[in-house]
Structure 1
């Protein structure tokens, strides 16, 4: 009778050049470990190595988003269950020491115990393209900011003639003027060298601005095809939408429910009560880039969304401070975004609002005055640039009232 194969659990400690693989039985007994090269041929040897010890129940890999990305992709293509393993416990490391075999066995033990695990991102679809684009865009943004700061810093100490010429100019105008300048003189002349350097920095600034514009266009193109309704939400633009999708990953199914998403983006409320005081504080966990994106949405809504403004006023009168109010708003926004990512709802049709207003002989300024909004807000709403479902509903209701009051 053939010997029945045992279920085995695998742990992998990943590095740039090598991966160390350890195998344990379903009872936690160490079976074997070995080091392999972190290349395609090494990945095939890893598959043969683990298959020779039994039926693989699951593989725990450290760093599935970095050094372990290539191996994780190969393992998934073979139908194996791949799990992201968190860094080993510091206390255990101090007691047992650290080495590649120890870390690999620790990863396997974590898989067996179902401790410190998460589902890795697939990194094989449109969201991965968003992440790559944002990497280049982020560095371009930082470099552009550095360039304009250097330009303004040089102008502060520039000769009087140069400083007077460019003082008070808006940034785009100043960049154009500096690009068109024609420095002439000797390299030992401070005024000539200052203007030459300013021209170089302005050219760099403009090139980076064009690079950012191209990246934004590519981001928008991907969003239009992959998540076209996400940017319909108030305060959510391409920058925020792309970051939140990157946090979720290509395989959305790894997020089990809305509460898990809230914890992932760092807005799950943390109890901070004591005695008769009952309160919660901001979560400092989760993806901080996603949390920053939600922060931007909340700030935008607090300044432009009537419903959010009313909520802030109400909670302020209840004694809540700004941080507590923003925590509540972030939690609400995360819930709204979760629904739009996993069960997208199209924005209500508002293409007829402008036509109805014109048929009643009303101007944008008149509508804005009645609805207590800026004319630009009404104009952007009519053209579909801004989404505000509450304002659109109020606008439509008011137009219907005006239509019934208008004499035939």
Structure 2
């Protein structure tokens, strides 16, 4: 008997619905999100048929639940939550959400529209590891930005001179200075000799002289905070600076591991062959692309997934082109970062960007246009398993010849 399974994922439990080819409900149950619950889920589904012939629809493409089902041999098909949301009015007058109801909707979508959906093919362990490292690092970088902004705002409230003393408030030298001198009072006796020793100890780049650094510190407005308030804020400054110092150090260690990991992957070598791709940006792109070549049906499919292709709405004489909201935002950020960097190393990319700017496109729009153009080349290289060769890029070769 042909069956279809819908599984509505939950934090502590999962609703499951099994239907036959006619849409009749054969089984409806809930399992807990623990070891026994997942084992019970696999056992109950096996009663309805062999795992390889039992398709399962679920709203998310990853997680422990998905891993357990894939390892058991089931065919897992991800269904976007927007599809489920749009289908709810087909089954009830009120588009209210319920876990058992969504499980049935997922099973019925798989029954009626399964031919339109692509079953999940798991990535290799190396890609999974790289993706975990890259996404974890990205989250830590976002946390660093939040803490740096918090530290800057705190300093602006009682000691603005320290906030603008160095170019990057999250740099090692700035954090070392704030931990040693967290309040204006602690820096009152700081002279040129002590400042010179501190700068030398922390390997200052020498952009400004010692006298200029001190003058910059003392030219800022004086604090109006009482001594007790300044001491309290100084403790906060020291705490945030210490946290940032540890965070920056860990981000550096993760970056080194990511750079080594992406250089070992064939897909990583392909992406790194593009101009100014770098290792971290290449790792971000590689982690989101993966190593399953038939995951994307065409380059247009990949462009939509990456968010570098706009959405066109057209009805009769009305036509509108808008920003694409539903996409892999991590992949879009990585591709646009690479495209923006590439225009400083590739004359073809620079010309494409400048042409877009001349047409009136703003910088972000022009970068997305360039990213879309690079994606066509990246798609071909990714499919063929070959590195980027400017000599085989007709537009780039023609530009170099005529230039």
- Common fold: TM-score over 0.5: yes
1:344-383 aligned within 5 A: 344-346=385-387
Separation in structure 1 between the aligned mates of residue 19 and residue 182 of structure 2, nearest angstrom: 71
* 1:36-60 Cα deviation digits (max 9, x unpaired): 2223332332233223234563422
2:31 corresponds to which of 18, 31, 36: 36
Separation in structure 1 between the aligned mates of residue 93 and residue 75 of structure 2, nearest angstrom: 30
- Counterpart of 2:45 in structure 1 is 50
* 1:36-88 Cα deviation digits (max 9, x unpaired): 2223332332233223234563422324445xx33322332233211112332
Secondary structure of the residue aligned to 2:269 is coil
CA contact (8 A) 1:7 1:55 kept: no
Q: How big is the shift at 1:191?
A: 4.2
1:170 corresponds to which of 132, 152, 167: 167
CA contact (8 A) 1:248 1:255 kept: no
1:62 corresponds to which of 48, 55, 58: 58
Is the radius of gyration larger for structure 1 or structure 2? 1
Secondary structure of the residue aligned to 2:17 is strand
1:1-400 aligned within 5 A: 6-54=1-49, 57-65=53-61, 69-87=63-81, 88=84, 89-92=87-90, 94-95=92-93, 97-114=96-113, 117-120=117-120, 122=122, 125-158=125-158, 168-171=165-168, 172=171, 173-181=173-181, 189-226=228-265, 227-249=268-290, 251-271=292-312, 282-315=323-356, 319=359, 321-322=361-362, 325-346=366-387
Q: How big is the shift at 1:33?
A: 1.5
Cα 1:78/1:213, change in 2 over 3 Å: same
Secondary structure of the residue aligned to 1:222 is helix
Q: How big is the shift at 1:269?
A: 4.7
Separation in structure 2 between the aligned mates of residue 268 and residue 152 of structure 1, nearest angstrom: 37
RMSD (Å) for aligned C-alpha atoms: 3.8
Separation in structure 1 between the aligned mates of residue 380 and residue 287 of structure 2, nearest angstrom: 16
CA contact (8 A) 2:356 2:369 kept: no
Cα 1:121/1:335, change in 2 over 3 Å: same
Secondary structure of the residue aligned to 1:286 is coil
Structure 2 gaps of 5+ residues are 187-225
Cα 1:170/1:285, change in 2 over 3 Å: closer
CA contact (8 A) 1:272 1:279 kept: yes
CA contact (8 A) 2:381 2:388 kept: no
* 1:62-116 Cα deviation digits (max 9, x unpaired): 24445xx333223322332111123322423652654333222211111111257
Structure 1 gaps of 5+ residues are 1-5, 350-388, 399-408
Separation in structure 1 between the aligned mates of residue 376 and residue 289 of structure 2, nearest angstrom: 14
Separation in structure 2 between the aligned mates of residue 245 and residue 92 of structure 1, nearest angstrom: 39
CA contact (8 A) 2:336 2:368 kept: no
* 1:170-216 Cα deviation digits (max 9, x unpaired): 3334323223348788x953444444433333222221111111111
Q: How big is the shift at 1:274?
A: 9.2
Of the structure 1 ranges 219-228 and 247-256, higher mean CA displacement relative to structure 2 is found in 247-256
State the number of aligned residues.
Answer: 346
* 1:273-305 Cα deviation digits (max 9, x unpaired): 799999965534321221222222232234553
Secondary structure of the residue aligned to 1:95 is coil
- Counterpart of 1:379 in structure 2 is none
- Counterpart of 1:405 in structure 2 is none
CA contact (8 A) 1:151 1:201 kept: yes
Q: How big is the shift at 1:347?
A: 5.8
* 1:123-148 Cα deviation digits (max 9, x unpaired): 66222223322343233223322333
Cα 1:300/1:93, change in 2 over 3 Å: farther
Secondary structure of the residue aligned to 1:189 is helix
